[in-house]
Structure formats: structure tokens, C-alpha cells
Chains A and B, each alone.
Chain A
Amino acid sequence: MNAELQSILALVIVAIAATALVVRLVKKRKNPGCGGECACPTDDLKVRIRRG
């Protein structure tokens, strides 16, 4: 893989990562906070709660 193609692929990956971070930051959560990354309800449980 030549250097030019590597640069293009690397920039595409960077753009995807940056977009994912921005989306994560601005996404409106029903329960803002850790997003289930602590001891609070997991995503699966949140779905159940919403259905409940």
C-alpha cells in the first residue's frame, strides 16, 4: 500500500472517529449521564424500562 493511499485511509478513519465522538457528545439521551458505563442500568435494561 503506497503512502498516498495510506494517508487517505487514515484520514477517513480519523473522520469516522471524530464523527462518532461528536455524535456521542451531542446525542440526546433519555437518561443523560454515563450511558450505562457505571453501575447504573445497562442499555438492555433501559430498553426494558422503556418498554415497561
Chain B
Amino acid sequence: MALPAHISPAATPAASSRTPTYAVVGNPNCGKSTLFNALTGLKQKVGNYPGVTVEKKVGTTYSQHGQPITVIDLPGTYSLAARSPDEAVTRDVLLGRRADTPMPDRILCILDATNLERNLYLLHQILDLGRPVIVVLNMMDLAAQAGLNIRVARLEHELGVPVIPCEAVHGKGLVELRVAMSRLEVPLARHAWDVPAAIAPAVSELQASLVANDGKSPLIARAEALLLLTDQDSVRVAGSVPLHAKTHEILQAWQKRWEGEGTDWAATLVNSRYDAIGTIAAEVVLAAGETGPTRSDKIDAVVTHPIWGWAILGAIMTAMFVSIFTLAEYPMNFIDEHVAALADFVKSSMAEGDLRDLITDGAIAGVGGVIIFLPQILILFFFIGLLESTGYMARAAFIMDRLMSRVGLNGKSFIPLLSSYACAIPGIMATRTIEQPKDRLVTILVAPLMSCSARLPVYLLMIAALVPGDRVPVMTKVGIMLAMYALGTFGAFGFAWLFKRTLLRGAPPLMIMELPPYHFPRFRDVLLHMVERGWIFLRRAGTVILAISIVLWFLSAYPKFPDATASEQLAQSFAGRAGHVLEPVIEPLGFNWQVGIGLISSFAAREVFVSTMGVVFNAESDEEDTTPLRDAMLNAQWPDGSPLFTPLTCISLMVFYVFAMQCISTIAIVRRETNSWRWPLFQIGYMTGTAWIVSFIVYQAGRALGFQ
């Protein structure tokens, strides 16, 4: 095959003394992040569903000679014609448009061997860049299971670049890949693709202008020219250098001419590329006759069934919450006893005074009240990791699509919403995969309504107060928990429906969702994910929550009233006064000023409510021994002697936390993702307003019906 005119076998940049940089690119869910982690030893989040990586990630690997190699993991994309912000990151890095990232010297293009023809489209565009490329043919085991025989040597011959068969999940092929990456020179592609005759003159003219006026290299200029003809967004990419007026003029002149002639230039280019890809695929992929449904297909027939699918989803959620309540009981008791023992030890070892109170009533009560929930957080993330790893999450999105389409969203919105069950921040970042700006904004606005893991300690504390004792069946607690999760989910759908019909009107998007093949879960990844999240939880408890607990202790202990009882002291303290100011607003919801202190402090983060209750009820206690928080809360009373935490108050409080926007970090990320203060302020307003109204309805209606 002849070397195309636009490609010259120049020395590759990696031959220079600088650390070579590899960009890892490929279609969504082809195993890029798994390969990136295997090469760099980093622990980037991986998941068996598309759209896990929405930003570039950088790591270092080493050649077989021990030389460092920089590896950049880029978000997955089906084509360089970007349709969403995350895909634009990939395109811009590859084209050297990003000021913060130098153009990579070489490209590792990961292809999903089970779907080679579709994956070749992106590779075909990348080869146009004329840069050294190593092709990694991933998931070879799954391709073999699907009855596909891929002629690797033939593909290598057709493309003229190294092709490494690989199973990144099992670490197979990594040695060969490292050897290929260690080569001083990687051959440039020999693939020839004749641009259709009707388009070729325009490509040449644009290429010349991009070189002369926009300062592009001839190779990049050709790729840019082809992209300009198929990707309208490429002309006006935010943050990139605008096109020179002359280049823009040439582009418009050609488009006008083709419009006059009735030529669909974009379709002509795309079809021509598909023809070339089809020829390669026909040579390379040999299917073992007519194959029946795969194992994944058979499982999907049940798991995505309109009735059974919902039943399985419900069963999985129930199993998750049953595990959270039952398995966590012993470690929780263990932590609880040791926290109390530590506080008692400090009390017995130190003389009375402020420092002792700060340590016991502030630091230990605050942090101890939160870390008691560590076992439950670990179980939650174990389940989430397991579901992500197997590929079930994508099925959950598929099941929910019918419901989502009714509210004007689609499956692509559901992945960010699912991520928000763990934490709204990665969920909001994951909205970058959504093409339509209005759909993306709606998803950002409703994502914090999904019950994140920070709400879990609040729910658990309230459920413990609501249904105390071991005599209550665990399914009652599970039922309450499921109801809170369902309320958040349906609340999110309801508001999405409202926003799509009022503020952010738009046509309902089509569902385009790839269902990845099922994988046996990689327990190492699942456990790593779980431990990492547990560590993050502990780190927060040991830093932010500790600091807030200490400050809160001060606010609840000062100014000093030497003759006052503990209750009077707390009521007249700075925190007590703030709670009293808020009390008239929250009293109709069933909350008093002590709960008000918790609502104010938990604006920093929801779980701070629990540590605040720990500090408030410990500060109020006259007892020398440490009382468990749940018991202290159950003993709390209104001035008339009636109990403060009735079942109705507990439900009202949980409902408040389902809807309230109590998270500074989420506000900051919404500000960044929407590039304005308008939307986060709107979000605070509508969520807090809804929280108040729904809690009011629950509490007042409950009372009217005779509940306590």
C-alpha cells in the first residue's frame, strides 16, 4: 500500500530526550481507564458503563528500560466530531488545542475487539492526524466468546501500525504493550484513504489556509480540515484559538457552493470513511458462522424485561439495604462502645475543665457520632462497586429509560443520576457526557436530589430514633430507607419534568445507550473503590467534621453562665441563640432550636448534622458517663415535657434532608460546571423551599391525622 502524500515518516518525538507522552483514546467503555490503571498503578475510577471518565487524567508508567513515560487517559468518544463537553476534551488534546496540555507525542488507541467495525471509525480519524499510533485490541477474550476470530497480523498489515491484542482486565498483553511503548520509534500509519473527489479540493484549500494563516502543521491541518467539514462545533470551540478569518471564509464559500449544488458534504465524507472501514473489517474479522444470542443477551432478556427488570432492581436495592442494616450492626456496636469508652477514659483521666469538655463533648462526640456509620458506608460502596463492575448499572439505566423519557430525560442523564447516589459531585461532573446543554443543565439541577451517601448517617440516626430497639423487624427499617431513596429519585424526576416544560424547554432526546457485556466483578477493584471511599469518609471525619465539632463545642459552651444547668447553658450559648432565631421558621416542621443548630451547621455537609447532634446533646447532658447519641435524642423534650423526636418529627426531618441542598461542595461544583452563580443559587432556593414545604405538609398532615 502506498504511503499517502500527507504522511511522511518523520522521526517520532519520542526519540528526543523529553519524557514521551502517550494519550489513551478509544470509544466509551472499551477499557481505557482499566488499561491506564494497569500501566500507571493509579486507581482511577473504572466502571462497566460508558462515561466514567469525563476529564483527562495523567499518570506515569515506565518503559522496559525503566524510562518514565507520561500517560494521559482521555474521555471516551466515538468520533473526533465531539458532541459533548467530555468528547471535546479528547478532540482538543489530540489536536493540540489545549493550552494546559502539550500535544501528545504518541497515541494509544484502544479498540473493543467485540465491536471492531464501530471502534475503527475513531481510529481512522486518529490515523489522519499522522501521529505515531499503537493500537490495543482489548477484550479479546470476549470477542472469542462471541465467536469472533480477529486476524491481528492482517489488521497490523492493513493499518501499518503496531496492534497489540490485550485483555486489560486480566493483565494479559500488558508486557507486549509496554515493549511496544518502549520503542524509540513507532511507525506512522500506512493506511490510505482517498477523500471523495467532490470534497478533496476543499480539503486541500482549507489545509493550505490552516498552515499559512492558522500556523498549523501540514498533518494536523489536514485532519483539522476534515474535521471542520463534519464537526460544526469545531469551528467555535470554547477555549480554543478561533479560526483565522481567511480560513473561515474558505469554509463558508465551499459550504455555500455545495449547498447550491445539493451536495451533503458531511454525509459524503462520513460514508466514504465507513466504506474504507468496512473493507478493513471484512478482511480482519471472521465470524464463526451465525452465532446465537450471547450470554449477556440471555441475561439481558430477563434483567431488562419490562416487569422482571423492575422486580430485580427492587430486589437488589432491598438486598443492599438489608445488608446495610444487618451486617453493619456488630462493627457499629464495636465502634460505638469504643468511642464511649474513650470518652469515659478521658473524663476519668483529666480534671474537670474546658479542655476535657472540648475533647469529650466536642471532638469525640462529634467525630465518634459520624464514624460509627463507617461500616454502613463501606457496605453501600461495596454494592455500588459490584453493580458498576458487572455492568448492571447500564441495565438499571435502560430499565429507567421509559420513566425518564416521560419526564424529558434519557438514559445518558441516568448515569449521572446513578452516580449521585454515591455523591452528587461525580454525578454532576458525569453530565459532561450529555450532548444537549439544556438536558445537561436539567440533570445538574436535579442530581443532588438523589440520596447521596452523606445522607445515609442522617437517615440511619433518624431511623434509630424512629424505631428504637431490636424488636422492630429489619424490613421495617429497610422499608423506610427505600422510601427515602424513592422519594429523592421521584422528586428528581418530578423536577426534571417541571424544568423541561418551563425553564428549559426542549424536545425529548433519543435514548442512545450502549449495554456493555456483563463482566465477572473484579473484587480487587470493588474493594479498592470501597476502601478509598471509606478512607475519604474517615478523612472528612478527621478534618472538616473534627474542626466543625470543635468550633461547635465552643459555640455551645460560650458565653459561660457558671450557675446555669447544662440545658440552660446550651440554650443561652451562641449556638443556642442561633437555633432560637431559626426556631420560628422550623417549628411548623416539628423541629426545635436544637435541631435548628444541626440544620445550620450541616449546610457545610449533610453528615455534619449527626456530629452536631452529638455535640449538642452531649453538651446538654449533666451525666458524667457518656450517653449514646440515640438515647440522648430519645430523652430530648419540648419545654412542655413532650418528646422532641417523635416518629413524625423523625420522618419530617428525613424528608427535609431528602430535598434540602445542604452541601457547600456541590454548590461549588455546580458553579464551576454551569460557569455562573445563577444556577447554584436557583438550586439552593428551589431545593430548600421544597424541603420546607414537603416537611411542613408531612408534619402538619400527620398531626391532623392523629399521628405523633
Contacts and interface: CB of A to CB of B under 8 A. Distances in A.
Interface in B158-211: none
B423 A39 contact: yes
Nearest to B549: A17
Given A33-B668, A40-B425, A40-B429, A3 B352 contact: yes
Interface stretch (B144-152, B355-363, B394-402): B355-363
A17 B611 CA distance: 15
Contacts, number: 107
Interface in A3-36: 3, 5-7, 9-11, 13-14, 17-18, 20-21, 24-25, 31-35
A35 B358 CA distance: 28
Contact of B353 (A3, A17, A25): A3
Given A33-B425, A34-B425, A34-B669, A17 B57 contact: no
B536 A17 contact: no
Nearest to B54: A40
Interface stretch (B507-515, B550-558, B646-654): B550-558
B282 interface: no
B365 to A, nearest CB: 15
B671 A45 contact: no
B60 A39 contact: no
A13 B358 CA distance: 9
A31 B671 CA distance: 11
Contacts of A38: 422-423, 425-426, 536, 665
Contacts of A24: 544
B491 interface: no
Contact of A52 (B58, B354, B423, B550): B58
A2 B551 contact: no
Contact of A7 (B55, B59, B353): B353
A24 to B, nearest CB: 7
Interface in B500-546: 536, 539-540, 544, 546
A40 B425 CA distance: 8
B547 interface: yes
Nearest to A7: B354
Contacts of B544: 21, 24
B305 interface: no
A31 B425 CA distance: 13
B60 A48 contact: yes
Interface string B663-686: 011001101100000000000000
Contacts of A13: 355, 358, 550
Interface string A40-52: 1100010011001
B183 to A, nearest CB: 22
Nearest to B70: A52
B351 interface: yes
A1 B669 CA distance: 46
A11 B357 CA distance: 12
Contacts of B548: 17, 21
Contact of B58 (A17, A33, A39, A48): A48
Interface size class of B (residues with CB under 8 A): 35 or more
Contacts of A17: 546-548, 550-551
B668 A14 contact: no
Contacts of A35: 665
Contacts of A37: 425, 536, 539-540, 665
Given A13-B358, A14-B358, A20 B547 contact: yes
Max chain A Cβ within 10 angstroms of own Cβ: one of B21, B350, B425, B553: B425
Contacts of A41: 55, 57
A3 to B, nearest CB: 4
Contact of A1 (B72, B353, B426, B668): B353
B42 interface: yes
A33 B419 CA distance: 16
B279 interface: no
Contacts of A33: 425, 665, 668-669, 672
A40 B60 CA distance: 18
Max chain B Cβ within 10 angstroms of own Cβ: one of A9, A11, A21, A39: A39
Contact of B59 (A1, A2, A48): A48
B263 interface: no
A34 B547 contact: no
A32 B425 contact: no
Contacts of A52: 21, 58, 70, 72, 101
Given A38-B426, A40-B425, A32 B55 contact: no
Contacts of B58: 45, 48-49, 52
B536 A3 contact: no
Contacts of B338: none
B184 to A, nearest CB: 22
Contacts of A21: 544, 547-548, 551
Interface string B330-354: 0000000000000000000011111
A4 B559 CA distance: 15
Nearest to A36: B536
B45 interface: yes
Contacts of A48: 58-60
B45 A39 contact: yes
B536 A6 contact: no
Contact of A14 (B57, B551, B664): B551
Interface in B432-465: none
B351 A34 contact: no
B611 to A, nearest CB: 13
Max chain B Cβ within 10 angstroms of own Cβ: one of A2, A41, A52: A52
Interface string B396-427: 00000000000000000000000100110110
Interface string B295-317: 00000000000000000000000
B358 A45 contact: no
A9 B354 CA distance: 8
A10 B357 contact: yes
A40 B358 CA distance: 34
A9 B359 CA distance: 11
5 contacts: A18-B554, A33-B672, A37-B536, A39-B426, A40-B426
Shortest Cβ-Cβ A-B pairs, 4 listed: A6-B353, A6-B355, A10-B354, A17-B550
Interface of B: 21, 42, 45, 55-60, 70, 72, 101, 350-358, 419, 422-423, 425-426, 429, 536, 539-540, 544, 546-548, 550-551, 553-554, 664-665, 668-669, 671-672
Given A2-B351, A37-B665, 12 more contacts: A5-B355, A7-B355, A13-B355, A18-B547, A18-B551, A37-B540, A38-B425, A38-B536, A40-B55, A41-B55, A45-B42, A52-B58
